[in-house]
């Protein structure tokens, strides 16, 4: 494997009669390439080589920055909203094809923040649970790279334990009155909408019951977006306070009380993709360019082999999305293994480089290493803590 680029391995499960088949892990099948997918990967790489300047400084995966113009140029190539049906402005492609495009974007550290959430999970949720009116209202804008969403799940007292959500939505004439606070809402200060998980009723015997999802216009009266800055001073995260925000009835996503089922299916898209193991790939590439000649080959080899294995699991998860067998457990395993790998990669690269990186350095590698060291503790938290993910996996194995 060339450490400077991702190999063109993608596509469909390898037939059982193949001599190259390895025993499949639970929930996973070995996936191999197709010629069309190889061509797609080459086309995306050519696009990125043209779009990103020679002195472009990559970021850390899905947090590489917000650039709405870049998102629109991707959309013009059909690479945003790829899984959205053509009737709603999308490309009607499969999850594996989308995996290829997003993998290349993340590997390059491209600025994907603007369209990321809408493309990754909001569009599939609206397509599955939304009304026809909602599909026609939001999906074409998402596919065009012009309609951006944030996630409204976590709260100050409810992170991975979403059953503890306290944000409430009370029935009023014509809609809902929403009161509560959401945190860690990436790019809420720039997005158009926030999909809010809230409590619309309560049953003492069922903490998962009575949850619903609402599509909230972030320009609505009563909304305050407060920045949560990183140690470096950068600003992606926000606290969103909803103070008696009116949400019309036609902005309810799915059925009242079905929020838990819906958000669980949403996490399959959020946890099982390449964004959970490729945050540090650009850092690894910069390290090898600068220090690769004298690097500890065994340590680098361990990182690369682990990366390759997790990538195959995530690719299998994409194939499961395509064939309708997607599993929250499979996605949880990918996320748990992937984010731990990302933290290990930062630790290993920092040790091998042997420097105290300056976050304000003009050197691209040193600058990104400093950013990665500060961001790494969050890898195993965002999208669900490792502890919660292991409980999800353990319960499924026990069953």
137 vs 163, residue with greater confidence: 137
In angstroms, the CA 166 to CA 304 distance is 42
Query: DSSP code of 122?
Result: I
Answer yes or no: 270 catalytic: yes
pLDDT, tens digit (0-9, with 9 covering 90-100), for 12-55: 444 433 333 333 344 577 787 788 999 999 999 999 999 998 88
CATH among 3.40.50.11060, 2.30.42.10, 3.20.20.70, 2.40.110.10 for 151-257: 2.40.110.10
Residue 204 has pLDDT above 70, yes or no: no
Pick from 5, 2, 11, 1: nearest CA to 312 = 11
Per-residue pLDDT of 72-89, as tens digits, reads 999 999 999 999 999 999
Task: Give the C-alpha separation, 181 to 305, whole Å.
Answer: 41
- Looking at 3.40.50.970, 3.40.50.150, 1.20.140.10, 1.25.40.10, the CATH number of the domain 262-398 comes to 1.20.140.10
CATH topology of domain 24-148: Butyryl-Coa Dehydrogenase, subunit A; domain 1 (1.10.540)
The answer to whether residue 7 scores a pLDDT higher than 60 is no
Three-state DSSP state, 15: coil
Give the DSSP per-residue string, 248-308: EGGGEESSTT-HHHHHHHHHHHHHSSGGGT-TTHHHHHHHHHHHGGGS-HHHHHHHHHHHH
In the prediction, which pLDDT does 55 show? 87
Beta strand 12-13 with 223-229: parallel, antiparallel or unpaired? unpaired
Which of 97, 103, 266, 270 is labelled catalytic?
Answer: 270
Alpha-carbon distance 310 to 206, whole Å?
35
pLDDT at 172 (0 to 100):
96
Of 1-5, 103-107, 305-309, the poorest mean pLDDT is in 1-5
Segment 63-73 mean pLDDT: 93
| Residue of 161 and 176 predicted with greater confidence | 176
Instruction: Considering only residues 28 and 276, tell me which one the structure prediction assigns the higher pLDDT.
Output: 276
Give pLDDT, residue 14. 41
Question: Domain segments of the chain: what residues?
Answer: 24-148, 151-257, 262-398
Residues 278-306 have pLDDT tens digits of 999 999 999 999 998 888 999 999 999 99
Tokens of 255: 């059925």
């Amino acid at each position: 494997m060339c450490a400077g680029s991702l190999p063109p391995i993608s596509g469909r499960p390898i037939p059982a009669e193949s001599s190259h088949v390895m025993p499949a892990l639970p929930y996973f099948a070995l996936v191999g390439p197709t010629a069309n997918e190889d061509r797609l990967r080459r086309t995306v790489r050519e696009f990125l080589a043209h779009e990103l300047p020679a002195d472009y400084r990559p970021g850390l995966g899905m947090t590489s920055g917000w650039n709405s113009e870049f998102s629109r140029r991707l959309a013009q190539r059909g690479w945003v909203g790829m899984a959205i049906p053509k009737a709603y402005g999308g490309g009607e492609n499969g999850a594996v094809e989308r995996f290829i495009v997003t993998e290349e974007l993340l590997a390059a550290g491209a600025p994907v923040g603007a369209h990321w959430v809408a493309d990754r999970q909001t569009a599939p949720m609206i397509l599955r649970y939304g009304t026809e009116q909602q599909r026609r209202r939001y999906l074409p804008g998402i596919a065009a790279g012009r309609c951006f969403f944030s996630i409204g799940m976590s709260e100050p007292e409810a992170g991975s334990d979403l059953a503890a959500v306290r944000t409430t939505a009370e029935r009023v004439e014509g809609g809902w009155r929403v009161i509560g606070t959401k945190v860690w809402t990436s790019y809420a200060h720039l997005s158009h909408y926030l999909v809010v998980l809230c409590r619309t009723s309560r049953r003492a015997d069922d903490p998962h019951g009575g949850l619903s999802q609402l599509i909230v216009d972030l320009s609505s009266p009563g909304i305050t977006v407060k920045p949560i800055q990183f140690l470096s001073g950068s600003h992606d995260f926000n606290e969103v306070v909803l103070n008696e925000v009116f949400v019309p009835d036609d902005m309810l996503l799915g059925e009242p009380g079905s929020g838990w089922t819906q958000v669980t299916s949403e996490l399959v898209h959020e946890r099982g993709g390449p964004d959970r193991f490729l945050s540090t790939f650009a850092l690894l590439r910069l390290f090898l360019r600068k220090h690769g000649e004298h690097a500890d080959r065994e340590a680098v080899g361990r990182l690369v082999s682990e990366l390759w294995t997790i990538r195959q699991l995530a690719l299998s998860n994409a194939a499961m999305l395509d064939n309708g067998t997607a599993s929250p457990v499979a996605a949880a395993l990918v996320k748990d293994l992937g984010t731990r790998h990302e933290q290990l990669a930062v630790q290993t690269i920092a040790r091998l480089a042997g420097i105290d990186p300056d976050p304000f350095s003009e050197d691209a590698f040193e600058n990104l290493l400093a950013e990665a060291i500060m961001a790494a503790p969050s890898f195993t938290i965002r999208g669900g803590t490792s502890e919660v993910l292991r409980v999800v996996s353990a319960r499924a194995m026990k069953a």
